[in-house]
Amino acid sequence: MKLAIGSDHAGYALKEVIKEYLAQRKDEVKDFGTYSEESTDYPDYAHPVANAVESGECELGILICGSANGVCMTANKHEGIRAGLSWTPEIAELARLHNDANVVCIPARYVTNQVGIDIVSTFITASFEGGRHQKRVDKIACS
């Protein structure tokens, strides 16, 4: 699977842990930064991840910041993105199953490394159920 990943400074350490996990799985990961814990602006990383998913360059996206609110709001400005803020694997699974989410947003300050890995693992292995959920997903776009 080809995945896009990005974080701000608050999510950097967890991003690196998740990248290691994905490398063990043999997933292809495109890292859009940041590359250190030096203070930075989350939109600078959320937009490129959203663009990569929206364009089809990557199948799914992973965004990480302190609360995950900023990256989630930024990613959801993109028409083709359905980003879900997930602080448990169960929330991540429902975002995929019911909302056809294509980007998961993880709050690094509120989850352990293992929970972050579990969120990603669940998110990338779950699939949209369609059915009764499709008509709801179809109503998300503003156009």
Question: The dihedral of CA 116, 68, 22, 98: what is its sign?
Answer: positive
Query: Which among 9, 47, 78, 98 is annotated as catalytic?
Result: 98
Query: Which among 58, 65, 72, 105 is annotated as catalytic?
Result: 65
What H or E segment, with its residue span, contains residue 47?
Answer: helix 43-55
- The secondary structure of residue 109, as a DSSP letter, is G
Enumerate the β-bridge partners of residue 84. Answer: 104
Please say if 65 is a catalytic residue.
Answer: yes
Collect all residues with Cβ–Cβ distance below 8 Å to 142 and sequence separation of at least 6: none
Instruction: Residue count of the chain, please give it.
Output: 143
| Cα separations in angstroms, 128 against 68, 99, 114, 125 | 22, 7, 24, 10
CB 11 within 8 A of CB 65: yes
Give the residue numbers marked as catalytic.
65, 98
